[in-house]
Amino acid sequence: MHFHFGPLRKSRKTTVISLAAVIALAGLGSVPAAAVSSSESESLQWTECADAGSPAKECATLVVPLDYDKPNGRKAQIAMSRIPAASGDPIGSLFFNPGGPGGAGAAIVSKIASGFSEEILDRFNIVSWDPRGIGDSKPALQSCDMPLPILNQTGPVKWSRSLERTVKQLGKANRKCQRLNEDFINHLGTKNVARDLERMRIAVGDSQLSYYGASYGTRIGYTYAVMFPNRVRAMVLDGNISPKSDYADLVTGARGPDLALDFLKKNSRATYKAFKRGDRALQEQTVRLDAGERFTRWDYRQVTIDLLTKTVQLRQIPLLAEKVEEALSEGPEAEEARRILSSLKPETNQNAGGPFSVVNCLDYAERIGQSTQLNSVKKMDKGGPLGGLLAMSYAPGCSGLKLNPEPVPDMSSKRLRARVAEIPVVLANATRDTLTPKFWAKKMKSAFAQQSFIQQHSTQHVIWLDNDSCVTDPIDDYVINRKLPNPRTCAWRGISPLN
């Protein structure tokens, strides 16, 4: 589950729908480790690496043990980047992880920084990184396919047959991924990422960690808090993953898109009706694209899921439905509509295969059999038109992998909750978050004795940087002054019209 700047984000040629003449539619208990001493940590050499987002951007590489049980053995290189604080006397660094598993933060730090308030940018260096195995960190996963679920394009959905075919395809991709990355793949779990984060904290010279975790980044956050409870200065967990160490619990997150759709049904009836109109049009036919491709109901639903994750994109749902109708009409606007839909068609699946499957299947020791997978998919499908699709990615995710899990902390443990009882944490979540549903946030809330829960009535996935002062002001104040705000629920702001 990815944080969406444009994000549990399905890959496609473009990622945000915008209106002009053309539309572009522009992924939990062993004994905690001891803290790392400063003498064990590598120093950082920051160099200029300006990009279009920030001329001040700097980059560095941190060398860490690939296997922390063998500190003198093979090393991993962690790619980092930062935007230095605007003031000359910063509080320290604010570390940010954009989610996933599989989200690379180093390349997007400028974009991340642009979402923070001037107060935060004045007082903190904004730091992100590519977690081990990802992006520009080395070694990184190579040749790991992330295939989309195999589903019949029209007619009644044959879930059993679809799951069999998806398991076979995904299993083949995962076995190839493991075979080609065998020498390091078992060291990519979240507990090792938390150990790397501790090394990064020391390397930047901060006595304690200030951290913002979005989506999967919340798993990194609470895992770090359990492993290094005395090292947390401030922690914001936004778009919360369930802190229960259970793969089956992960699959329940597929309920999120239909809860978001239900929110639209109640709060923007016209938008909901537009979605249903386009969905009905694709039940018995598909849109013919170039090179023999088809835009199907599953493509339409996946694009809709992505649009639901950002409030500013909700207004594009009627436009998407309109393009489907135009493409099916064979009228004068059909060719342009088909071109637009072709640009939106998902190409790979960031919720199955590759780093998403590898990290989840290292973090959760449990494996669910195919009959349980099928029952989970059917259960999600009963909740609405979107959940079955997402469950078809989540449920069979470990197919073909034979890993050595290092489970993340299971916060249903009273002993582990006691370890974090003195840590003040801000939790943020939309009431109908599309990808990390509120019932997961409630479980995270129960894990921390000292927490403040900031909610927003919306379908937005990750809310701190959503330009809503009701959300941002209390979180900013907490991160700067370390004083927990009062819990609050911020109002639904509605859907702004297209220009």
Q: What is the pLDDT along the chain (499 residues), one digit of tens a residue?
A: 654 433 333 333 333 333 333 333 333 333 334 444 444 456 899 999 999 999 999 999 999 999 999 999 999 999 999 999 999 889 999 999 999 999 999 999 999 999 999 999 999 999 999 999 999 999 999 999 999 999 999 999 999 999 999 999 999 999 999 999 999 999 999 999 999 999 999 999 999 999 999 999 999 999 999 999 999 999 999 999 999 878 999 999 999 999 999 999 999 999 999 999 999 999 999 999 998 999 999 999 999 999 999 999 999 999 999 999 999 998 899 999 999 999 999 998 989 899 999 999 999 999 999 999 999 999 999 999 999 999 999 999 999 999 999 999 999 999 999 999 999 999 999 999 999 999 999 999 999 999 999 999 999 999 999 999 999 999 999 999 999 999 999 999 999 876 5
356 and 133 Cβ atoms separated by less than 8 Å: no
pLDDT at residue 39, as a whole number: 43
Give Cβ neighbours of residue 39 (< 8 Å, ≥ 6 apart). Answer: none
* Cα–Cα distance, 50 to 45 (Å, whole number): 15
- End-to-end distance of the chain based on CA atoms, in angstroms? 30
- Please report which helix (H) or strand (E) contains residue 489, including its range: strand 488-490
In a domain? residue 107? yes
pTM for the structure as a whole = 0.93
Closest CA to 392 of 189, 242, 170: 170
Surface-to-core class of residue 49, CB atoms within 10 Å of its CB (0-12 exposed, 13-18 middle, 19+ buried): middle
How many CA atoms does the CB half-sphere of 25 hold within 13 Å?
Answer: 33
In a domain? residue 23? no
In a domain? residue 425? yes
Interior angle at CA 433, CA 432 and CA 434, nearest 5: 105
In a domain? residue 263? no
Range(s) of the domain holding residue 76: 38-138+188-247+410-490
* Cα–Cα distance, 162 to 265 (Å, whole number): 29
In a domain? residue 195? yes
User: How would you classify the pairing of strands 209-214 and 294-295?
Assistant: unpaired
Total domains in the fold of the chain? 1
272 and 397 Cβ atoms separated by less than 8 Å: no
pLDDT at residue 37, as a whole number: 45
pLDDT at residue 27, as a whole number: 34
Give Cβ neighbours of residue 209 (< 8 Å, ≥ 6 apart). Answer: 95, 197, 198, 201, 224, 228, 231, 232, 233, 235
* Cα–Cα distance, 471 to 426 (Å, whole number): 11
106 and 134 Cβ atoms separated by less than 8 Å: no
pLDDT at residue 26, as a whole number: 33
In a domain? residue 131? yes
pLDDT at residue 60, as a whole number: 98
pLDDT at residue 104, as a whole number: 96
> 232: left (phi > 0), else alpha (psi -120 to 50), else beta?
beta
In a domain? residue 450? yes
pLDDT at residue 330, as a whole number: 82
In a domain? residue 374? no
CATH label of the domain that carries residue 463: 3.40.50.1820
